[in-house]
A and B are shown apart, each in its own frame.
Chain A
Amino acid sequence: MKMRHSHFHRPPGRLGAGTRITSDALGEALSTTPASRFKHPWCTTAKWSPTAKRWVATVIPGFVNERTPIFRATVEEQKESGNPWENNPLTGRPFFSDSVFSSPTAERTTRTVDLPLHLNPAIPLDIHGIGFDGDPSLPVPQFFLDLGVAKAPRQPSPEDLLEGLAEPVDPTPPTDLRLLRACDLWLHQPRLALTSDVSLQPGPATGISNVTQTLGVRSPAASDVLRIFQGTFTPFIPFSAGIDPLAGDYEEPTYDELLISTVYLLSPPNTPLGSMPDPTWQPYVRHNLFWNLQWAQPVFRQVTEDPGTPFIPPLAGGAAQLVINFLTASLNDTTQQALNILSAHSLAGNFWTPTGGGRDATFAAPAAAQKVKTGPDLKANQAAKIAASQAAKRIAQLDPDFPYTAQPFPISFITAA
């Protein structure tokens, strides 16, 4: 028996909320208007630009204090990037209608424009390889390993091979291998920077050295503004190993930087090694920022715990300067003391998200789950299960679920005041 369609004898349907019906010679079509979905600040979208023949990204405007960062590009780059430049909402005129854009070609290729994020500039991506044919030092997220990406093979050292401690790794790509490329987008906030100059004067007979450390402040370049960079992000780690404050003048960078997002491009299976991404590659984005930010940097001032007797000498040109004298008996003490002073006076700024309190919606397993001694603690065990489940989910996905995570407020701002 042949079944008839259920709508044969049904009265005509009515349109529900958010739907519309259109008729033409081919019949009727039912369409919906999807509800507008909340996209968080800094939400990054990657797309292929057919005109520029490369992948570009756009970023939902995010704020640092009251401003959106700019993206600095040449006129030619922006025209090539294929952004749908129509009318500039701020002027009502077409984009690139200003006289600068009709300048000679040579000038267009070199002259830069600062495009704030709220004008939706297309950011051309300079990608780097990770995974099987990429940089072995860069980690591959589990998300992509699950999709067929393989880690770069690490060949054992010749010594290990010679002594038979390791077997050579087969460099043949696995079947259905997918390649991975990435590009970071990060925030660049110019700021004042700390400078330090240490002079060491050995004592005459006691073996105790008199150390004079002069701290100063350096301004960023006038052209440096709150902006977005793209490429390979290398976070600055203050006072990391290798810094010798006694070896010469020490200077902090005149900027703070924070990763916004990483755009990943995933190839189809069995793409030849070393291929450049084309429109057949699939874009993914992992975000580090989800909310607008506040930013501030510490005030340059004397820290009361400092040793010695600091004094502020007459200033030239309004530049702040702080001279600290202290005595030490060994070079190691001197180095550590100078580093401590640098750390205490660092002008490194902090970003935070004004959430009113809290920065993470992750369910934390109570410590009691690990300390149950007498009988099962059902609540604690249940909490531990939820936390473990959330942790496993976080590993397998690129972004955390809403309400995401936020940058913590630097408590040192309050405690140091």
Chain B
Amino acid sequence: MNSWSYPRHWDAQPVRMPVLTQPGTGTRLTVNALGHATGATPGGATFNHPFRPALSAGRITFQLGTVTSLAGDGPMEPKIKVNGQLVPMSGKDGITPAALALSAEVANSDGISWAAMEVHPDDKGELTKDAKVEIVHTATVVSHELDLGRCAIAMILWNGRTPLRVLPIVHFNLRYVRLLPAPGGGAPRHLFL
């Protein structure tokens, strides 16, 4: 006769003592006179930020983000070309986001491409309500043209012809300003602040 008060797996005859559920990964077991409790440390909240990208099946969808012109109109929702047609990034119905199609030909020799927002300011450098604001897939994210500004939204890493991973670059809604070159030359600068 031994003094064990709890069941052992080599005991010959079955016992009817209850066996507590053990704490596994990420859980802890607390036992006291009132019974037992299984607890877990809550994970931190995710940040569902504007322009948050999600890669799936060679396409990227984004959380809704906006751009506002410094002294012009806004906020404006960028559009994405889907089947040759510009669609608001939040989708036609505002529920199903429009997906940006990715092409392996766009990636550079390092296996990197970008999703970039293109803005087309007017003569005064401001975005009006009719200005074209579009998210495109490109390997060129800098523009020195007078009427075209670009801002990288996300970086896409490729393995051959397969997009592997997307990294967010922008976490907030954007504000746009164009700076014209000073006398003596230079190129216009498109800043997002």
Contact = CB atoms under 8 A, between A and B. Distances in A.
Nearest to B169: A63
Contacts of B70: 414
A29 interface: yes
Interface string A272-305: 0000000000000000000110101001011000
Contacts of A27: 19-22
Contacts of A352: 193
A175 interface: no
Given A6-B34, A32-B25, A413-B179, A294 B191 contact: yes
Interface stretch (A85-93, A142-150, A152-160): A85-93
Contact of A31 (B24, B110, B152, B172): B24
A35 B42 CA distance: 7
Nearest to A12: B21
Most chain A CB within 10 A, of B33, B152, B172, is at: B172
Contacts of B191: 294, 296, 413
A38 B171 CA distance: 12
Contact of A29 (B21, B40, B42, B160): B21
A393 interface: no
A47 interface: no
Interface residues of B, number: 62
A26 B18 contact: no
Contact of A30 (B38, B159, B171): B38
B94 interface: no
Interface residues of A, number: 53
Given A38-B44, A65-B152, A413-B191, A312 B184 contact: yes
Contact of B36 (A5, A31, A32, A354): A5
Nearest to B175: A356
Contacts of B4: none
B45 A38 contact: yes
B155 A118 contact: yes
B102 to A, nearest CB: 15
Contacts of B157: 89-90, 118
Contact of A38 (B20, B46, B116): B46
A25 B114 CA distance: 51
A70 B189 CA distance: 26
B19 A354 contact: no
Given A32-B25, A92-B160, A414-B177, A66 B114 contact: yes
Contact of B173 (A21, A291, A294, A356): A356
B21 A299 contact: no
Contacts of A33: 26
A30 B22 contact: yes
B23 interface: yes
B182 A417 contact: yes
Given A354-B193, A355-B172, A414-B179, A30 B184 contact: no
A314 interface: no
Contacts of B47: 38, 402
A7 B36 contact: yes
A357 interface: yes
Contact of A8 (B18, B141, B181): B18
Interface string B173-190: 111010111111010010
A4 to B, nearest CB: 9
A34 B43 contact: yes
Among B42, B171, B180, B189, the one with the most A-chain Cβ atoms within 10 Å of its Cβ is B171
Interface string A322-365: 00000000000000000000000000000011111100000000
B9 interface: yes
A14 interface: no
A31 B141 contact: no
B165 interface: yes
Interface string A73-101: 00000000000000001111000000000
A13 B186 CA distance: 70
Interface in A165-208: none
A169 B38 CA distance: 53
A22 B26 CA distance: 13
B2 interface: no
B35 A22 contact: no
A36 interface: yes
A172 B78 CA distance: 65
B21 A357 contact: no
B44 A37 contact: yes
Contacts of A6: 34-36
A91 B141 CA distance: 23
B46 A7 contact: no
Contacts of A312: 184
A42 interface: no
B41 A90 contact: no
Interface of A: 3, 5-8, 13, 19-22, 25-38, 61, 63, 65-66, 68, 89-92, 118, 291-292, 294, 296, 299, 301-302, 312, 352-357, 402, 409, 413-414, 417
Closest 3 CB pairs of A and B: A35-B43, A31-B24, A6-B35
Given A29-B23, A31-B27, 4 more contacts: A32-B26, A36-B43, A312-B184, A356-B173
